[in-house]
Chain A
Amino acid sequence: MKNKTLKAILGTTMAALLLAGCSGGSPSGGSSSGGSSSGGSTAPESSYPESDIQMIVPVGAGGDTDANARLLASYAEKELGVAIPVVNVKGSSGTVGMEQVRTGEADGYQALFFHTEAMLPKIAGIYDYSLDDFRLAGVCLQANTTLLITHNDSGFTTLQEFIDAAKANPGNIEYGMAVGGYPQLVGLALEKEAGIDLNLVDIGGNADKIAALAGHNTDIINVEYALVKDYISTGEFIPLALLSAERNPLFNDIPTAKEQGLNMEFGKFFFVAFPKDTPDDAVNTFSAAMKASVENPEFVKAAQDSYALTPVYMDPEEATKYAKQVEESLLKYADLFTAANN
């Protein structure tokens, strides 16, 4: 262990030195590369990447999206040989950051890292752009970990008991969510698919939801497995269903909603996207680096250990097709979503 720590220290010091070093070297290095690029647009494009690639994460620092972006960046950096600083641009459910990338220069030096929620503004009817207005470089991670979960004093311990209870007391079982976000969509879909009526109450983000459930201030929430696994082992929280097509091998004992007769699939996929007009070369180069990272066993282990994610690589075409599919499956709840928020 000591050895590993020592290595870590060395690593840190090296990183610091490197930072200082590249700062010393960069004025000259930078100007020479600048010279070649100002030499005209005829310069061969295969030189990408020549400088740092900004990875914009449209949510604040902290949380799974930010952590996953930093994880991917730290591996893709090694593949591409340039720094990939993660830049948080938060606000308006991610649209501020998404807008910054979408309207930014399409040169491959500004990428967006986000997940399925990127499609929500369009589904909610707030913005009319969606992933079609970007160029996907690929998908790198999937989260088949969304659980419907309750606390141990709610009076129901299985999905069926919950549905029965909800039918017996329409509008009285409280579902904690955040208005305008993914959890609201899940809540509305649950009401529709199970044919029940819940009291959908705004509670906030993940931390607020877990606090509310642990304090018995709400009855049922949807949340990612990794964030509540301790609560499940202590028996304080009872998972009702996994909202995924198949059981997750990382926690095989939690049944899916589908096998319990409820047609609900709400996974998340994390992707990298560039502005629409970004050259093929840049997109493909970046995508290849994503592929190499996803295939790196260390990356796989970190993704599984941290948020129980499934590393999956999809190339630009597959990713675009997949995103379209997911969007269509979500669009069937669009009416419910807009009706609830207007």
Chain B
Amino acid sequence: MKQYSDLITGAVSLLIGIALLAMSIPIGIQENNLIGAAFLPEIVSVIIIALSLKLMYDGFRAAQDYEETVPEFVKNYKGTAVMIVACILYAELLKPVGFLITSIVFLFLTFCLMTKKEETNYLKLGALTIVSVFLIYFIFTKFFGIRLPAGILKGII
């Protein structure tokens, strides 16, 4: 897998380049203007396609003399995946549920994810979560006048 990383990068960007070109051409036709909204995207897509091909070629050659190295530690892909999902949920729920609740849940989860098992003290992390979120909320809403989404707590805070 790792030895093909440049090949994969090249292939993905090739697809992006082709997609960009495919979406730009109709815009150009619709606008009926050579140097219109589609002009620069078309140029960019051609450059991307050319460079992707070069990258794929280089990546293919590099893969031939690839040597596996022993990693010095185990990658924590599971944690990263959980985090990615949490990030998106946080952004999506921020408005309906509100800043305070989503932030408390997110921050606590992230603390737990980041802290090594043997060092985890849930009580301490929980307390830290509450204090930090309220402090951030306090600073931004009161001092900087930013109105954060209240969500379901609307009318209570």
Contacts and interface: CB of A to CB of B under 8 A. Distances in A.
Q: Do chains A and B touch in the complex (CB under 8 A)?
A: yes
Interface of A: 19-20, 22-23, 26-27, 30-31, 34, 37-38, 52, 54, 83, 85, 87
B147 A26 contact: no
A38 B142 contact: no
A87 B147 CA distance: 9
A26 B145 contact: no
B155 A22 contact: no
B143 interface: yes
B156 interface: yes
B53 to A, nearest CB: 36
A22 B142 CA distance: 8
Contacts of A19: 142-143, 145
B142 A23 contact: yes
Given A85-B147, A87-B147, A26 B155 contact: no
A19 B18 CA distance: 54
A83 B143 CA distance: 12
A20 B142 contact: yes
17 contacts: A19-B142, A19-B143, A19-B145, A20-B142, A20-B143, A23-B141, A23-B142, A23-B143, A26-B142, A27-B157, A30-B157, A31-B156, A37-B155, A52-B147, A85-B145, A85-B147, A87-B147
B39 interface: no
A341 to B, nearest CB: 11
Nearest to A83: B145
B155 A38 contact: yes
Given A31-B156, A34-B155, A37-B155, 11 more contacts: A19-B142, A19-B145, A20-B142, A23-B142, A26-B142, A27-B157, A31-B157, A34-B156, A34-B157, A83-B145, A85-B147
Interface in B120-150: 138, 141-143, 145, 147
A34 B143 CA distance: 21
Contacts of B142: 19-20, 22-23, 26
A133 to B, nearest CB: 22
Contacts of A26: 142
A38 B157 CA distance: 11
Contacts of B145: 19, 83, 85
Contacts of B156: 31, 34, 38
Nearest to A85: B145
Contacts of A20: 142-143
Nearest to B134: A27
A85 B147 CA distance: 9
Contacts of A30: 157
Contacts of B155: 34, 37-38
A241 B96 CA distance: 52
A284 B80 CA distance: 53
A38 B150 CA distance: 15
- Which 8 A-B residue pairs are closest in the complex by CB-CB distance? A23-B142, A85-B145, A34-B156, A34-B155, A37-B155, A38-B155, A54-B147, A19-B143
Interface string B57-89: 000000000000000000000000000000000
A85 B146 CA distance: 8
Interface in B27-44: none
Nearest to B143: A19
Nearest to A87: B147
B144 to A, nearest CB: 9
Contacts of B147: 52, 54, 85, 87
A23 B157 contact: no
A37 B142 CA distance: 22
A164 B142 CA distance: 60
Nearest to A23: B142
A54 B155 CA distance: 15
Nearest to B142: A23
Contact of B138 (A23, A31, A34, A38): A23
B155 to A, nearest CB: 5
A303 B141 CA distance: 29
A33 B142 CA distance: 17
